[in-house]
Amino acid sequence: MRGSGLANPGAPDLNARVVIIGAGHAGGSAAAFLRQYGHTGPIILIGDEPLVPYQRPPLSKAWLKGEADADSLALKPADWYADNNCRLMLGVSATKIERAARRVVLSTGETLDYDILVLATGARARTLPLPGADLKGVMALRTAADAEQLKAALGPGKHLAVVGGGYVGLEAAASARALGAEAVVLEREPRVLARVACQQLSDFFTRYHTGHGVVFELSAGVEGFEGRDGQVTGVRLADGRVLPCDAALVGVGAIPNDELAQAAGLDCVNGVVVDLEARTADPAIFAIGDVTHRPLPLYDRMFRLESVPNALEQAKQVACAIVGRPAPPPEVPWFWSDQYDLKLQIAGMPFDADTILVRGDPATAKFAVFHLKGDLVQAVEAVNSPPEFMMGKILIGGRKPVSRERLADSSISMKEVAA
Amino acid sequence: MAKITYVEHDGTEHTVEVKTGMSVMEGAIKNNVPGIDADCGGACACATCHVYVDPAFEGKTGEKSAMEESMLDFAENVEPNSRLSCQIKVSDDLDGLVVRMPESQH
């Protein structure tokens, strides 16, 4: 049965039949928020993995190190879904959206009618089209299954080669060291975190990891993977060297899973284009999470974010729109990473920044890098520095001007800087 | 196992059983109790699981770490009994715990 949404597509309707494609952090949270906000209509959650919605961030951190179990990863216990009239269809993917009929075709051949469709299809790990990339032991880290495979390959005496010096790669290298494995990070650019962090932070992380025994090969071209009996044994570099390894983790970014939306004629620009209600140009179709190209009102632009806070923010937006609550106020994008005893917290995006200012001393592993546009904070990258992160986030959201001199002086507290 | 009562800012109460070893935050999230966001999933990175611990239980919820103290310092409407619920581990001692939630976590 459809709710009354049929007459007025996309209008708030507590009885609307909501189909969510993608049972990750975004999709699972959208279902939970809908029930929290009083939605009474059916919710159908379709996931291509065989697991109930779970958190991915611990897969490269606490879970990989054995400090978190599978139950703790799950967003909700398995029986929550049935108890809350959410039909979970796991191990199933959607193959087609029929917008005129408001119907989704599934990989099983089954079709599902919807009043509201939510695309939460996420992103997938980018792969490298290199010789040997199909060898056993050459892996990505995106899903719980990937993480199981990686964990099994780590341990004392094992060698992990990480292709790509991004956050996933560095977190995995740190976890590998904690498990007693050797780790080498191969990065094409002259510095790690080249796409996502400033030079100062790259230098700091390279030094810190080196101090923990991680080996770096920067400006390194990877030509392929060597193997024996179908199992990876090494990574071949452009300079002819072969670095031996038991496993090779490829962490070179993610690609939005927006093909389904594209095929349905929805506007996609490196992700599905949505507004601040998470709605596409089709009033009955929303998109949330890593798959979206979304407005960032603080920065006057559209962007695709890959983060849990983004997934949660948009899950709230879509739930509000469906039940007729006002849209929640836009949030400052933020991110975090744990490596060794380091807690990195990032608020904002360094768009249009003209100045980089370091507060504190990186040599103490407690410092923050501020990105300023004039006297406005655009972003802050804080290492073991919660006050800089928390107050930085407030300053970014409030577009409150600060004195650069005072901000650079770590003897002046963040509360005084912002006063 | 401990019975924990979460009180929303508007007074709505949710009493649930939470397994030993879980955090007070996880007890709320897994039972879909509104009012605790826990954006970071328990990494002590976001201060969106802020609660006020009932004074009767303050001695049983453990000490705040420097990190928690520092995060809480910048949360809104902080009181002496404020805690980040992801940092409170549930034990049998916490049976009957009551935590109240602030108006907003953001």
Predicted pLDDT at B37: 86
Q: Where are the alpha helices (DSSP H) in A77-138?
A: 78-83
- Provide, as residue numbers in chain B, all residues whose Cβ is less than 8 Å from the Cβ of A32: 32
Task: Say how many CB pairs under 8 Å bridge A and B.
Answer: 59
Residue A175 at interface with chain B, using a CB cutoff of 8 Å: no
Question: Is the separation of the CB atoms in A166 and A190 below 8 Å?
Answer: no
The Cα–Cα gap between A188 and A192 comes to 9
Assess if residue B105 is contained within a domain: no
Residue B60 lies in domain: 2-100
Given a cut of 70, the residues of chain B with pLDDT beneath it are none
- Provide, as residue numbers in chain B, all residues whose Cβ is less than 8 Å from the Cβ of A72: 22, 26
The answer for A 126-155 residues in CB contact with B (under 8 A) is none
DSSP letter, residue A325: P
Quote the number of domains for chain B.
1
Go through the domains of chain A in sequence order and give each one's CATH number. Answer: 18-124+255-323 (3.50.50.60), 138-252 (3.50.50.60), 341-418 (3.30.390.30)
- Provide, as residue numbers in chain A, all residues whose Cβ is less than 8 Å from the Cβ of B34: 36
State the nearest Cα–Cα gap between A121 and chain B, in angstroms.
Answer: 20
**CATH code, domain with B64:** 3.10.20.30
The Cα–Cα gap between A409 and A189 comes to 32
The answer for A 56-75 residues in CB contact with B (under 8 A) is 57-58, 61, 72, 74-75
- Provide, as residue numbers in chain B, all residues whose Cβ is less than 8 Å from the Cβ of A80: 30-32
DSSP letter, residue A276: T
DSSP helix/strand/coil, A213? coil
Predicted pLDDT at A70: 78
Assess if residue B106 is contained within a domain: no
The Cα–Cα gap between A364 and A204 comes to 10
Q: Please classify residue A218 by burial: count the beta carbons closer than 10 Å to its beta carbon, then call 0-12 exposed, 13-18 middle and 19+ buried.
A: middle
**Parallel, antiparallel, or unpaired: how do β-strands A254-256 and A123-125 relate?**
antiparallel
∠ CA B61-A178-B90, rounded to 5°? 15
Assess if residue B74 is contained within a domain: yes
- Provide, as residue numbers in chain B, all residues whose Cβ is less than 8 Å from the Cβ of A76: 29-30, 32
The Cα–Cα gap between A209 and A170 comes to 8
Predicted pLDDT at A352: 95
Check A336 against B73: CB less than 8 A apart. Answer: no
Residue type, A382: A
User: What residue of A is the nearest CA neighbor of B22?
Assistant: A72
DSSP letter, residue A65: T
The answer for A 333-352 residues in CB contact with B (under 8 A) is 334, 336, 338, 343, 345
Per-residue CA distances from B103 to A1, A320, B27, B41, B48 (Å) = 37, 18, 19, 20, 11
Residue B84 at interface with chain A, using a CB cutoff of 8 Å: no
Predicted pLDDT at B42: 86
Residue A366 at interface with chain B, using a CB cutoff of 8 Å: no
* pLDDT tens series, chain A, 419 aa: 455 445 678 888 999 999 999 999 999 999 999 999 999 999 999 999 999 999 999 998 888 888 888 788 999 999 999 999 999 999 999 999 999 999 999 999 999 999 999 999 999 999 999 999 999 999 999 999 999 999 999 999 999 999 999 999 999 999 999 999 999 999 999 999 998 889 999 999 999 999 999 999 999 999 999 999 999 999 999 999 999 999 999 999 999 999 999 999 999 999 999 999 999 999 999 999 999 999 999 999 999 999 999 999 999 999 999 999 999 999 999 999 999 999 999 999 999 999 999 999 999 999 999 999 999 999 999 999 999 999 999 999 999 999 999 999 999 999 999 99
Predicted pLDDT at A259: 98
DSSP letter, residue A7: T
Question: Is the separation of the CB atoms in A375 and A396 below 8 Å?
Answer: no
Residue B17 at interface with chain A, using a CB cutoff of 8 Å: no
Assess if residue B64 is contained within a domain: yes
Residue B103 at interface with chain A, using a CB cutoff of 8 Å: no
Predicted pLDDT at B95: 96
Closest Cα to residue A21, out of A285, A363, A216? A285
Question: Is the separation of the CB atoms in A137 and A158 below 8 Å?
Answer: no
Check A76 against B32: CB less than 8 A apart. Answer: yes
Check B67 against A343: CB less than 8 A apart. Answer: yes
Check A387 against B29: CB less than 8 A apart. Answer: no
Assess if residue B71 is contained within a domain: yes
Mutation choice for A interface testing from B8, B40, B84 by most A CBs within 10 A: B40
Residue A80 at interface with chain B, using a CB cutoff of 8 Å: yes
Predicted pLDDT at A6: 52
Q: What DSSP letter does each residue of B22-66 carry, written as one string?
A: SBHHHHHHHTT-TT---TTSSSSSS--SEEEE-GGGGGGS-PPPH
Closest Cα to residue A365, out of A192, A193, A174, A205? A205
Mutation choice for B interface testing from A381, A389, A396 by most B CBs within 10 A: A389
The answer for A 90-129 residues in CB contact with B (under 8 A) is none
∠ CA A85-A90-A94, rounded to 5°? 100
Residue type, A85: N
The Cα–Cα gap between B60 and A80 comes to 30
3-state helix, strand, coil in chain B (%, to 5): 25, 25, 50
The Cα–Cα gap between A299 and A174 comes to 33
Predicted pLDDT at B51: 96
Residue A194 at interface with chain B, using a CB cutoff of 8 Å: no
The Cα–Cα gap between A22 and A104 comes to 13
